[in-house]
Structure 1
């Protein structure tokens, strides 16, 4: 009887022994999901190497980069061909004062819009303007913040 009781206890311990906790997948914010969707949609025609370069935040002056950036920012509704980057919406979309230095970001984005503005007609002028304005922003501390943030989004940390 003692041996049977011992076996029952061991069996019971096996059944109720807790399993190691499983780490849940990180919960992504709606903003991060929107960034990833825009990235995927606009990157459909890219080669794996081109996609890798963009993911590494390397934005060469090439037609595929210009098209990708215009698509990405337009899809997020943060770029309008008539007025350029929507600075206030970008700041709100990227977390506002909690995440960005608004006093720095607002004039940088608006300044790059103005400095690089294209008054030409046609879709290509808007694509070129978007690229030039983006490169301008990327050369500032706001661009450095954007690179870190996008890297976190791409790597599942935001």
Structure 2
């Protein structure tokens, strides 16, 4: 009987591990400026133009934010890898994320952490990234 119970537990653990790895294996893709603009428009409509809510909606859609841990610094750094400062950018994003963390006001957390992180060189990179779409129009 104990052997059967152990086997059931092992199979259950295996199934859970497979489910988790399948979810993790769903590949996150680098967003293009086009994707950002499309998601931004959807979020603006959903949030009735409220900036903080629009921003959080956008970064969630892009896979750059979770309500549990805030910004995903590694993914953000991958978007701007061409600037060859991934480690520094990750430190800035993580610092701002922790500094502004407020799980009871998620929109404000997302907005204030974004404002903190984009107050320096990273802000110029974001503007350059978004201007790619303007050139395409």
* Length-normalised TM-score, structure 1: 0.60
Return the match for 1:74 from 60, 84, 88: 60
Segments ≥4 residues shifted beyond 6 Å: none
Give the deviation of 1:150 after TM superposition.
Answer: 1.0
Report the RMSD for the aligned CA atoms in angstroms: 2.3
Quick one: structure 1 residues 30 and 45, their matched pair in 2 at CA, closer, same or farther if it must change by over 3 Å?
A: closer
- 2:38 alignment partner in structure 1: 37
Residues 103, 109 of structure 2: 8 Å contact kept? no
State the distance in 2 between where 1:80 and 1:134 align.
Answer: 14
The structure whose residues are more often helix, as a share, is 2
Q: How does 1:1-158 map to 2 (within 5 A)?
A: 31-44=32-45, 64-92=50-78, 94-96=79-81, 98-120=82-104, 125-156=105-136
Residues 43, 68 of structure 1: 8 Å contact kept? yes
Residues 91, 100 of structure 1: 8 Å contact kept? no
Deviations along 1:33-55, one digit per CA (max 9) or x if unpaired, are: 321221121122688xx7xxxxx
State the distance in 2 between where 1:119 and 1:30 align.
Answer: 26
- The 10-residue stretch of structure 1 (83-92 or 30-39) with the greater mean CA deviation from structure 2: 30-39
Is the radius of gyration larger for structure 1 or structure 2?
1
Residues 67, 103 of structure 2: 8 Å contact kept? no
5+ long unaligned stretches in structure 1: 1-28, 51-63
